[in-house]
A and B are shown apart, each in its own frame.
Chain A
Amino acid sequence: MALLQITSPHLRGTNRTASVMQWVLLATLPGFVALIWFFGWGVLINVAWAVLLAIGAEATVLRLRKRPVMFYLSDYSALVTAVLLGLALPPFTPWWVTAVGVLFAIVISKQLYGGLGSNPFNPAMVGYALLLVSFPVEMTTHWATPSTLAVQPDFLQTLTYIFTGGGVNIDGVTMATPLDTYKHQVDILTREELTQLPVFGQHVALGWEWVNLGFLAGGLALLWRKIITWHIPVSMLLSLTACSLIIGWDPDQYTPVSIHLLSGATMLGAFFIATDPVTAATSRLGKLYYGAGIGILVYIIRTWGGYPDAVAFAVLLMNFAAPFLDHYTKPRTYGHRKAHRGIKKAD
């Protein structure tokens, strides 16, 4: 009888990276559906195109690096990057913009650093920031009008526009986002006039509120399944709320809290992007600082920075800080008097 010679431990749990990633994808569905419902087929086409490109790019680079392709593709991480990037982009983004973003994200910001687990920056956000910096026009003027306000082009028309640039005159079907509008018009109009604008709808932000609530629901599902912990989302949202209430309490001068929380990529960022385990801090206390930092940076950039939505930049800036946070928030080991924080030898 040939007995296996192997060292302990011999038991393994059932948790797998692929299933973690699959759950993340599943959890984006409510927000994804809301996006398609309100902003048209462009989102679906973007996501599909991004997924295709991401898998192709990752497979190519893996083959160049002489790694087993299927083994590394089967952890679904490229898929998640592509979906998150696709969700973040405007619906009418041309195909080459998405392509540049996805290729840069997968090839340069993930694979060239060593593949999954070795990248210091969130790949989807690197791609998004690259696009924001490189193609400012396409990234700010291609946001769709919510479907309750205008008739949106159908699937084929959108497809044609995205891949050829023709077929639809998008000036008629695009409009600025609520965050953008409030930020730029708050000096001109009063709050009552502002909220009458159609972009804000009856509640907070037409269309966007449902999208964000959808992502919130997905995020709560992830919390319930223990895929993510509560530290980052809660600290990010709390700090954003706190900043907004303390600094921007006057809606006549600053964007109110409700718009901060329920429009833009806030919920997507809080539950899906900031919680990316590879690039976030790992200790519990570190996660709290990390989330709080993101929240504060989001508020600062949105209010005083040059961009209407700031989640990407805030996340990237805190990615810089994540190793430092880990270093200084190490837990105390059993049997030691203090936690060993910092560089010098302890005890």
Chain B
Amino acid sequence: MAKSYLEITQDGLWKNNPALVQLLGLCPLLAVTGTVVNALGLGMATMLVLTGSNIAVSLIRNFVPESVRLPAFVMIIASFVTCAELLMQAYTYELYEILGIFIPLIVTNCAILGRADAFASKNPILPSALDGFMMGLGFTLVLILLGGIRELIGQGTLFTGMDLLFGETAKNWQLNVIQDYPNFLFAVLPPGAFVGMGFIIALKNIIDNRMKRSAEMKKDKVAAGSKRVRVTGSIS
């Protein structure tokens, strides 16, 4: 069970990515990734909650009785989500308005409860913290990727509205990639999110298959050289 920190990082970012492999937390993924700033905002909130809740769950993992395990975890997660919500309400109000119900809905994000139950409740604090952070980071990266694709195809721009998150100076971060773009509404609406998600997962699978094949080819070469020929004794 004890995984090295490298493995935890790899799992969170690629091998066991909550959005692409575990397919958890798809509701916010598909609903708020219309633009990069929305995606980034929700992703950062999720990351914060994941890390915090993993640490907290890991702290109490030896004291909480079996029967109230899950309700206790949900309580912890809800507390962290409330913190995140209040923070967003205070510092990024417009974004808070745009994201609306999806911030409190982070509580129901199965990825968070899943990591709490599968990892944080069985591992010490530091690995749990790293796991939470990496899972959140992986989730956020996918959110940003999908958000970028949808914004690009749907509106022809990138990084619109970054000032909602980063303040006034971020207003000129907006890239108008395509001029006079007739907005492709489909990409902005949920169906586009599904199709985009499907293509991203397909891309990940292609990359995984390529890596596996090249790893196998390397392995074969090694095996071919290591056989020995027996000249005495029974050949079994």
Contacts and interface: CB of A to CB of B under 8 A. Distances in A.
A125 to B, nearest CB: 14
Contacts of A148: none
Nearest to A100: B184
Contacts of A138: 182
Contacts of A136: 185
A133 B195 CA distance: 15
Given A133-B185, A135-B185, 15 more contacts: A100-B184, A108-B195, A130-B186, A133-B186, A133-B189, A133-B191, A134-B184, A134-B185, A134-B186, A134-B187, A135-B182, A135-B184, A136-B185, A137-B182, A138-B182
A151 to B, nearest CB: 28
Interface in B172-200: 182, 184-187, 189, 191, 195
Q: Nearest 10 A-B pairs (CB), nearest first? A: A134-B186, A134-B185, A134-B184, A130-B186, A133-B186, A133-B185, A135-B182, A108-B195, A133-B189, A135-B185
Which interface class (under 10, 10 to 19, 20 to 34, 35 or more) fits A?
Answer: under 10
Nearest to A138: B182
Nearest to A135: B182
Interface of B: 182, 184-187, 189, 191, 195
Contacts of A134: 184-187
17 contacts: A100-B184, A108-B195, A130-B186, A133-B185, A133-B186, A133-B189, A133-B191, A134-B184, A134-B185, A134-B186, A134-B187, A135-B182, A135-B184, A135-B185, A136-B185, A137-B182, A138-B182
Contacts of A133: 185-186, 189, 191
Interface in A123-158: 130, 133-138
Contacts of A130: 186
Contacts of A108: 195
Contacts of B184: 100, 134-135
Contacts of A100: 184
Nearest to B154: A134
Contacts of B182: 135, 137-138
Interface in A92-143: 100, 108, 130, 133-138
A105 to B, nearest CB: 13
Contacts of B185: 133-136
A66 to B, nearest CB: 15
Nearest to A94: B182
Nearest to A96: B182
Interface in A236-265: none
A17 to B, nearest CB: 29
A135 B153 CA distance: 13
A134 B82 CA distance: 36
A136 B188 CA distance: 14
A73 B79 CA distance: 59
Among A133, A134, A135, A136: residue with most chain B CB under 10 A: A134
Nearest to B184: A134
Nearest to A108: B195
Nearest to A112: B198
A103 to B, nearest CB: 12
A100 B187 CA distance: 12
Contacts of B191: 133
A138 B184 CA distance: 11
B124 to A, nearest CB: 45
A61 to B, nearest CB: 13
A223 to B, nearest CB: 36
A135 B184 CA distance: 6
A132 B186 CA distance: 9
Nearest to A97: B182
Contacts of B189: 133
Nearest to A131: B186
A326 B21 CA distance: 35
A108 B199 CA distance: 11
Nearest to B188: A134
A189 to B, nearest CB: 31
A74 B34 CA distance: 40
A108 B185 CA distance: 17
A19 to B, nearest CB: 35
A174 to B, nearest CB: 17
A136 B187 CA distance: 14
A138 B191 CA distance: 20
A260 B184 CA distance: 30
B145 to A, nearest CB: 19
B197 to A, nearest CB: 13
B151 to A, nearest CB: 15
Among B184, B189, B191: residue with most chain A CB under 10 A: B184
Nearest to B192: A134
A130 B191 CA distance: 9
Contacts of B187: 134
B137 to A, nearest CB: 30
Contacts of A135: 182, 184-185
